[in-house]
Structure 1
Amino acid sequence: MIYSMTGYGRAEATLKDKTFLIEVKSLNGKQFDMRLNMPSLLKPYEVEIRNKLNEELFRGSVECNISIKSNGASKPVSVNKELAKSYYQPIIELANELGIEKDNILSTLLKMPDVVSSSNEVLTEDEWKFVLALLQQAIQHLITHRKEEGKSIEKDLLEKIVAIEAQQAIVEKFEPNRRDKIKEGLVKLLEQHVGADKYDNNRLEQELIYYIEKIDISEERVRLKNHCTYFKTIMNESDPCKGKKLSFVLQEIGREINTTGSKANDVDIQKAVILMKDELEKAKEQILNVL
């Protein structure tokens, strides 16, 4: 099973007077890179949230947005009584000196700096557990999305590998004729430039064997076949994070295709090599999306 690196997950729920919304998005990326946006209320849990996302999502450029909305309830406040008392006497004295009414003295005191302040709201243990469960839901939705996209990627990659194997079969078909063509070509050149009766057949056979050994592609064909088989084996592995491994195998497939092309010296085989390279490039583009 193959998983895509692209995905989206969302989870929203209410606990008492708070509504929590979590959105997680992921795009292609060589490593795990995360951007986390959340209210200060969750700052004490930032490391746990980051670790959770890293453990579950493995790779990709991930963005996680968490919001908390209070449903009509006001934020708790605190009154610094001692500070208010210290303001009280000077304000009374000033009011007496200026002849100002003292009816609104409480309102005045409450407006003085730091007399009234918002309490530092903290997340309760139950609320944190609720957020953690909600985060897991959002992550699971994203993983499901990745899995669905992975199915189409897997189908496409398999088609590319099968196409490469089909062209490899064509190479095998033309391989025996290639040797005969090489011999015929060399004999023709010798007859044109040296003469039909002026070269040593035994020496020609020795040189021909040496030359054919240099351009022999049987090892490349075997390795290419093995790499394609291994690629399909990896795709069937249970490990969800296999994009890098598959990418390495594609590099090896490319190496064998290139070597085959450089040794081929045959029009029909070169055509097959070009088609294999085309399928390989398409596979490399797709592998960038694999987790």
Structure 2
Amino acid sequence: MLESMTGYGSAERAEKGMKVLVELRSVNNRFAEIGVKLPRQLLARELEVRELIRGNFQRGKISAFVQLQLDEQDEQLPVTVNAAKVRGYKALLETVRQEAGVESPVTLDHILRFSEIFESDNTILDRPDEIWQIAQSAVVEAVEKLKEMRRKEGEELAGDFTVRIAEIDRTLAEIQVIAADNLETIRKRLSSKIIAIAGRDVEYSRDRLEMEIVMAADKLDITEECTRFNSHNKFFIEELNNMSSGSGRKLNFLLQEQLREANTIASKSQNADISQKVVHIKEELEKVREQLQNIE
């Protein structure tokens, strides 16, 4: 089963008062290239995130975005107020105000300048291992969703390839019919020239002329090219149904061979009808080539 290199996968995990959101985006690339953007609490896990992704994909440029946020339904803040310190700083400020002879009262703004009145609560944000457990499960789910989308894209492309190769096979069969008649026409034309030469008072070797006819006809014969082309088409369809990795590279190789045979047929045939049908085949192959850029 073919797999496309383009796709999208996302996952969300909400546990213990926090939420992890993961997004994976994949586009075409010759090799596997993975970019990861993580929140501060997970920076130490970047290599592990990369390996989770890399182990599932052979090719494609994959961008991973991981977000960490407090659960919107959890109203508890990850900090608490030290009431004793608040009272102590207030009393201290009152003493300073009296000693300095300042009449303005002590306000909340003055007290908030002392960050010590706030203390960090022992929340999930202070336990990176627990954050990673939740984030890891979200990454795994996003990877599976991305794989599923890439598989579906691959199925669509495989169907398109099958239709186009069938059209190429049909056109190639028409070319072979035309080529058989074309070859016979060429033989007759060359034979007519021999007869014309024989009617003149010119010394010549009949055996040599007949051999030249055979050689000329052989040079214009495209049977071998058509046979190889049919073989490449068969292997192409077989590879479409092959579950092994690296199918994209194999199909690209077969496509190059198909294009080579098409060009050879066009150059050898010396027939306008065949040349026109070869143009149609090459148009189909070009469409296949464009889509092959999406295959892993």
TM-score normalised per structure 1: 0.82
3-state SS in 1 of match to 2:56? helix
Does 1:46 find its partner at 2:46? yes
1:60 and 1:141, CA in 2 relative to 1: closer, same or farther beyond 3 A?
same
Q: Residue deviations 1:151-181, cap 9 Å, x none? A: 2211110111111222222232233323222
Q: Within 1, Cα distance between the matches of 2:178 and 2:264?
A: 16
1:129 and 1:76, CA in 2 relative to 1: closer, same or farther beyond 3 A?
same
Does 1:272 find its partner at 2:274? no
The residue type paired with residue 288 of structure 1 is Q
The equivalent of 2:134 in structure 1 is: 130
Q: Within 1, Cα distance between the matches of 2:294 and 2:199?
A: 60
Q: CA deviation at 1:267?
A: 2.8
The equivalent of 1:8 in structure 2 is: 8
Q: CA deviation at 1:54?
A: 1.9
The equivalent of 2:37 in structure 1 is: 37
Q: CA deviation at 1:230?
A: 1.3
Would the aligned equivalents of 2:22 and 2:67 in 1 still touch at CA under 8 Å? yes
The equivalent of 2:252 in structure 1 is: 247
Alignment of 1:197-276 (within 5 A): 197=200, 198=202, 200-276=205-281
The equivalent of 1:98 in structure 2 is: 100
Q: Residue deviations 1:184-219, cap 9 Å, x none? A: 233445667x56445543222111122233333233
The residue type paired with residue 74 of structure 1 is L
Q: Within 2, Cα distance between the matches of 1:126 and 1:114?
A: 27
Q: Within 1, Cα distance between the matches of 2:251 and 2:106?
A: 76
The equivalent of 1:167 in structure 2 is: 171
1:78 and 1:50, CA in 2 relative to 1: closer, same or farther beyond 3 A?
farther
Q: Within 1, Cα distance between the matches of 2:268 and 2:117?
A: 87
Would the aligned equivalents of 1:110 and 1:116 in 2 still touch at CA under 8 Å? no
**Percent of aligned pairs with the same amino acid:** 28
Alignment partner for residue 156 of structure 2, among 152, 155, 162?
152
Structure 2 gaps of 5+ residues are: 83-87
Q: CA deviation at 1:43?
A: 0.4
Q: Within 2, Cα distance between the matches of 1:97 and 1:67?
A: 51
Q: Within 2, Cα distance between the matches of 1:176 and 1:46?
A: 64
Q: CA deviation at 1:40?
A: 1.0
3-state SS in 2 of match to 1:56? coil
The equivalent of 1:66 in structure 2 is: 66
Q: CA deviation at 1:61?
A: 2.5
Q: Within 1, Cα distance between the matches of 2:210 and 2:95?
A: 123
Q: Within 2, Cα distance between the matches of 1:129 and 1:31?
A: 29
Q: Within 2, Cα distance between the matches of 1:238 and 1:33?
A: 22
Alignment partner for residue 182 of structure 1, among 186, 193, 197?
186
Q: Within 2, Cα distance between the matches of 1:284 and 1:196?
A: 54
CA RMSD of aligned residues (A): 3.5
The residue type paired with residue 100 of structure 2 is L
Q: CA deviation at 1:268?
A: 3.1
Q: CA deviation at 1:44?
A: 0.5
The equivalent of 1:82 in structure 2 is: none
Q: Within 2, Cα distance between the matches of 1:171 and 1:236?
A: 27
TM-score normalised per structure 2: 0.81
